[in-house]
Amino acid sequence: MPSPELEPGSRGFIIPIGGAEDKLKDKAILSRFMDLSGGEESQILVIPTASMLDDTGTRYQKIFEEMGGKATVLPIKNRKDAEGLDRSVFENCTGIFMTGGNQLRLSTILGGTPVATEIRRANARGVHVAGTSAGAAFISEHMIAFGAEGTTPIAGKVTLAPGLGLTNRIVVDQHFRQRDRLGRLMAALAYNPFVQGIGLDEDTAAFIGPDNVVRVVGDGAVTIVDVNDLEYSSMAYASEGEPVELIGVRLHVLAHGGRYSLSRRKASPGGRQ
């Protein structure tokens, strides 16, 4: 469960990013994250655990420093690193950024460690937490570990795993349009209609504020899948490999500036009207 807020509205933003965010031109998503984190006064912790590449952390560190902030890479490559990390590094940070890679590396290395606890506590006291690609999937309590591509939900073709748990309201899927992942997101939601699905195109982010309103930033779209009013699901009866019938699904597609209230389950446009 998410760490309790110190007081209502004190939680920092939760920012899942669909991957392949712009790092060279206007850097709209990264700039917005850094501005929220204090701009030139920001102290950002970069967690490259999801990646197997040695330079992933330092690449983001350089980007944030070129934008005027300060960034520190936490070199957590295994559970021993996570257990032995000096937790004082979290005391003065204003933003935490988890890179892309493999979300199962995040869950198996960070899950249940003091690092995961400190990230939740930091977010509860107002620190903004962003994750791109695999980092985005890991943010919520329920994480899509892997699944088949395609627009139709198929029984047995999506696997869920425990995530970081900053919120239990959503399930996130990334590279959404580029990798045709509508079907696997709907299949994940069919297991538990309480949560709401957020499908993130590349170079697109959902800035989820302490008011539980999603604000869309980026060049792609955010697809919201709401199954709160689901009338029928065949998930309990479908055999592996069969299509899952879902009746009563609501779907919203939002571009830059669009908003969606997770509490009220209501969308508002941000584009041309």
Single out the catalytic residue among 140, 175, 233, 252. Answer: 175
What is the rounded average pLDDT of the residues 34-58?
A: 98
* Domain range summary for the chain, segments of one domain joined by +: 14-256
pTM for this predicted structure: 0.97
Query: What number of H helices and E strands is found in the chain?
Result: 7, 17
Q: Backbone dihedral region of 85: left (phi > 0), alpha (psi from -120 to 50 degrees) or beta?
A: beta
Task: Count CA atoms within 13 Å of residue 120 on its CB side.
Answer: 21
CATH of 14-256, one of 1.10.10.10, 3.10.20.30, 3.40.430.10, 3.40.50.880: 3.40.50.880
Known catalytic residue at 5: no
What is the rounded average pLDDT of the residues 88-109?
A: 98
What does the mean pLDDT of the chain come to?
96
Angle at the Cα of 142 from the Cα atoms of 196 and 217, rounded to 5 degrees: 55
Single out the catalytic residue among 37, 133, 140, 233. Answer: 133
**Amino acid 273: pLDDT:** 46
Known catalytic residue at 175: yes
Answer yes or no: is pLDDT of 98 > 90.
yes
Percent helix, strand and coil across the chain, each to the nearest 5: 25, 25, 50
Answer yes or no: is pLDDT of 79 > 90.
yes
Known catalytic residue at 141: no
Tens digits of residue pLDDT in 145-154:
999 999 999 9
pLDDT band at 7 (very low <50, low <70, confident <90, very high): confident
